[in-house]
Amino acid sequence: MSSKDYYRILGIEPTANAKAIKNAYRELAFQYHPDRNKDNPDAVNRMKAVNEAYAVLSDAAKRREYDAIRTQFGSAAHDRFRRNYSEEDLFAGSDIFRVFEELTRLHGFRHYEEVFKEFYGPGYRSFEVKRPGMFFKGFVFTGRHSPGHGRRLRRGDGQGLGRLGRRMAEKLLGARLPQRGKDTNAVIHLSPEEARNGGPYAYYYRQQGKKLVVKIPPNVRENQRIRLTGLGEPGRGGAEAGDLYLRVAIDRPLMAAVKSKIKRWLKS
C-alpha cells in the first residue's frame, strides 16, 4: 500500500478497533510532537499526516468510506478519498485536541493551541463556551493554511453547535464566523458509451444557468457521484462556496439512441 495509506501512517491493521486507533495516535503524537523534535523539521509534516489519518479513521462514517475506496483502488485510495471527500470536513468533530491536552498534562508540552498555530498558521483560533449545563470547545480555521484551506467552524467536542452555539461562539470571538456554503445535488444523464469511455462532457447546470464541462472518469457507474468543487451555494462571511454533486444516471440504449438523434437534429 502507499505510504499515504492511513493505516500504515498510524502503524495499525485495517481491523483495528477504536481503542487501538486512539492508542496508536497517542504514541505517534508523543513521538512527533514538536516539543520533542526541535531539531527535526520533518516532524511537523509527519505530525500533520498522523493528525489527518487519525481524524479519518477515528470517525466511523469517514472510515467506512475510506475503507470502501481503499478496497477498490488500493494504493490510489488516499488521492481518491481526498478528491471525492470534502477536505473541509476532515477535522470536523475530531477529538485531536483532547489528546494534545493529555500530552500537555503528562509531559509538560506546550498547550495544543500554540502547537496548532505553529502547524496551521495564524488563521487558527480556538474558543470554549461555559454556561450552566453547557460546555463545549472548538477551533476555527480562517486562513489559507488550514487543513482544508477553508474558512469554517470546526467542532472540537464531536457535537453539533447549532444556531445557539454558533451565536455564542461568535459573541466570544467578537466577529461573525465564516460559514461554508451548502452542497447542492443534480443529475447528469450519460449514454452507456459515454459512461464507458469517460472524457469531457458538456453539461448545462440550470440552477445557476451555467454551461459546464464535466470530466467523466472512464467506466463510471450508475448513481456514482461526481464532485465539482465550489459550484454549490455561496459561502457566508468570505467563506468558500459549497460543492456540486452530480449523480450519474445511465440511459438505457433506446433512450440513448433517441437523445443522440435529437442532438444531431438540433445541430443540423
Domains of the chain: 6-173 (1.10.287.110), 184-267 (2.60.260.20)
pLDDT at position 32 is 92
Average pLDDT of the residues in 204-224: 88
11-20, 72-81, 137-146: which has the minimum mean pLDDT? 137-146
Average pLDDT of the residues in 62-77: 89
Q: What is the mean pLDDT of the chain?
A: 76
90-104, 134-148, 203-217, 234-248: which has the minimum mean pLDDT? 134-148
Q: HSE (CB half, 13 Å, CA atoms) of 103?
A: 24
CA distance 268 to 262: 10
pLDDT at position 230 is 83
**Which candidate, 61, 130, 132, 45, places its Cα nearest to that of 94?**
61
> Is the pLDDT reported for residue 158 higher than 50?
no
> Is the pLDDT reported for residue 126 higher than 60?
no
70-79, 107-116, 138-147: which has the minimum mean pLDDT? 138-147
CA distance 159 to 251: 42
pLDDT at position 234 is 86
The phi-psi region of residue 251 (left if phi > 0; otherwise alpha if psi is between -120 and 50; otherwise beta) is beta
What residues contact residue 258 under an 8 Å CB cut-off, 6+ apart? none
For cell 445557476, name the residue: 208
With bands split at pLDDT 50, 70 and 90, how would you rate the model's confidence at 165?
A: low
With bands split at pLDDT 50, 70 and 90, how would you rate the model's confidence at 268?
A: low
> Is the pLDDT reported for residue 187 higher than 90?
yes
> Is the pLDDT reported for residue 212 higher than 70?
yes
With bands split at pLDDT 50, 70 and 90, how would you rate the model's confidence at 178?
A: low
pLDDT at position 31 is 94
